[in-house]
Amino acid sequence: MANIHFGTDGWRGIIAWDFTFENVRVMAQALADFISVNMPSNMEGKTNLIAVGYDRRFLSEKFASDIASILKLNKLDVLLLDEPVPSPLMSVLSATKVWISIMVTASHNAPHYNGIKIKLEGAPMASKLTKEIEELLYQKPVMYIPGHNVTPTKGLQKNYLKYISSKVNLKKIALLKGKIAVDYMHGSASTYLEQILGDKKVIALRSEVNPTFGGVAPEPKESNLTDLKKLVVNKKCLMGIGLDGDGDRIAFIDEKGKYISPCLISAVALDYLVKHKKLNGSVVQSVSMGYLTKRIAEKHDLAYEEVPVGFKNIAEKTLFEDIAFGAEESGGYFFKGLLPERDALTFALFIMEIMANTKKSLSQLCQEVQKEYGASVFLRRDFELTKGLEKTNFNEKFKKKLPKKILNQYSIKNISLTDGIKITIDNGEWVLLRPSGTEPKLRIYAETPSKKQTEELLDWAQKTAETIK
């Protein structure tokens, strides 16, 4: 039996290895069994439909078709989308039109991966519920008939566009003088920014369909956005944005062609929301994020908390707590009024709205927030994890390697094992070592006021980690 497991952001697998048609059909049957038992009788304005969508990856449309067919054969009402769509669209459908959405995507992972995300009430399905689906695997025969297809439904994309227009001031954004550069990275959010702002306002890179994503993982990290940086500068754009394979993660480039870290862009957003929108509630962010948002929360008497990596951990808190703002290092952002879900396009437009309202460039906004709360240079480094090491034993083994002072100069102020091992030094600077939950990699993150100091911490962490057996 295949190891079908829902991690921090759905089930991922290698195509034709563990993400196969047989295993996807087994998962679909378990999902059908779960839905049949758990779908509420009172949908509160929504229908008892299930939406199935997919991205541009190899065979995603075929996988989605099989899932929809199996749900239909289990006597469930299904809407199968007629073209590749961004994942946030599926979240919007689950919040406004259907009870549950299934999205075939491996998000930002390499081209040979595919996966499945499940959306409920506008958010990633809670871990407790995905665990229940896992327990239903292989419990009943798969109801699958070759050639039994569900007719795709057209026009569902308008629900997402309507949602976006209700969350940002498009008339204000239209006053911005200049163009926006966007690198779609061959992902399924392609053309959506043009639909929202108009073709004349947008200059696009990598918008065409390419299931191999040009041979690189469609992840909007700095090393993948070199061409976007050049485009922003050469065409004198107001800013650049990079979107991942399913349009929920985002990265920002300022008008000077400089990459803006998630720690910095989240601080720009939170500072604006607190000062201009009178935002109140708690600030929650993944442990791989930095000190600027923490300092903003402290200055404005907002509760602050760090949670394990994975936007699901932020989303679940919004169900039970008064969360004002949430952010994670991989490019997911939330603030009160939005669905508790990563939504790259809506957040990008919100940053544009800030620029329009303040009449300041993105670089100016970043400079101002650092002037008030401190300089921030955040960097991340990934490398292959030694075989046999897991999160639990890695943390303990690394902890034993800690010196009294890092690099003979930095005192250790705090050690957190929330997710990986995060070491805070001197004035709040920090370094985090975290084995990935989806890949055999060790991710190292650090933030200090200078690039030199941040790189020194990364070098020390990597060299120390390489000594662990």
CA 375/CA 369 separation, integer angstroms = 9
Task: Give residue 469's pLDDT.
Answer: 75
pLDDT in tens, the chain (469 residues): 568 989 878 899 999 999 999 999 999 999 999 999 998 776 565 568 999 999 999 999 999 999 999 999 999 999 999 999 999 999 999 999 999 999 999 999 999 999 999 999 999 998 899 999 999 999 999 999 999 999 999 999 999 999 999 999 999 999 999 999 999 999 999 999 999 999 999 999 999 999 999 999 999 999 999 999 999 999 999 999 999 999 999 999 999 999 999 999 999 999 999 999 999 999 999 999 999 999 999 999 999 999 998 898 999 899 889 999 999 998 899 999 999 999 999 999 999 999 999 999 999 999 999 999 999 999 999 888 766 566 567 888 899 999 999 999 999 999 999 999 999 998 899 999 998 765 678 899 999 999 999 999 999 999 999 888 7
How large is the angle between the packed helices 262-276 and 344-358, nearest 10 degrees?
60
Report, in angstroms and rounded to the nearest whole number, the Rg of the chain calculated over CA atoms: 22
CA 372/CA 377 separation, integer angstroms = 15
Indicate the domain borders of the chain.
Answer: 11-160, 168-260, 262-342, 377-465
Architecture of domain 262-342: 3-Layer(aba) Sandwich (3.40)
Task: Give residue 9's pLDDT.
Answer: 80
Task: Give residue 2's pLDDT.
Answer: 66
CB-based contact 191:212 (threshold 8 Å): no
CA 276/CA 432 separation, integer angstroms = 33
Instruction: Give yes or no on whether 11-160 and 168-260 have one common fold.
Output: yes
CA-nearest of 435, 268, 455 to 379 is 455
For residue 224, give the DSSP letter: G
Fold of the CATH domain 377-465: TATA-Binding Protein (3.30.310)
Residues whose CB is less than 8 angstroms from the CB of residue 434 and which lie 6 or more positions away in sequence, other chains included = 287, 288, 309, 391, 419, 420, 421, 442, 443, 444, 445
Fold of the CATH domain 11-160: Alpha-D-Glucose-1,6-Bisphosphate; Chain A, domain 3 (3.40.120)
As given in the structure block, the two tokens for residue 389 are: 């090491």
pTM for the full predicted model: 0.94
CA 338/CA 356 separation, integer angstroms = 20
Mean pLDDT score across all residues of the chain: 93
CA 156/CA 289 separation, integer angstroms = 35
Identify residue 345 by its one-letter amino acid code.
Answer: L
The Cβ-side half-sphere exposure at 158, using a 13 Å CA radius, reads: 3
- Other Cβ atoms within 10 Å of 111 Cβ, number: 20
As given in the structure block, the two tokens for residue 469 are: 């057996």
SS3 34: helix
CA 220/CA 182 separation, integer angstroms = 11
Q: Are strands 441-448 and 429-435 parallel, antiparallel or unpaired?
A: antiparallel
What sign has the CA pseudo-torsion 385, 390, 391, 394? negative
Task: Give residue 403's pLDDT.
Answer: 92
Beta strands in 313-353 (DSSP E): 323-328, 332-335
CB-based contact 291:376 (threshold 8 Å): yes
Residue with tokens 């662990």: 468
CA 261/CA 267 separation, integer angstroms = 10
If one looks up domain 168-260 in CATH, what number appears? 3.40.120.10
Task: Give residue 438's pLDDT.
Answer: 59
Task: Give residue 144's pLDDT.
Answer: 95
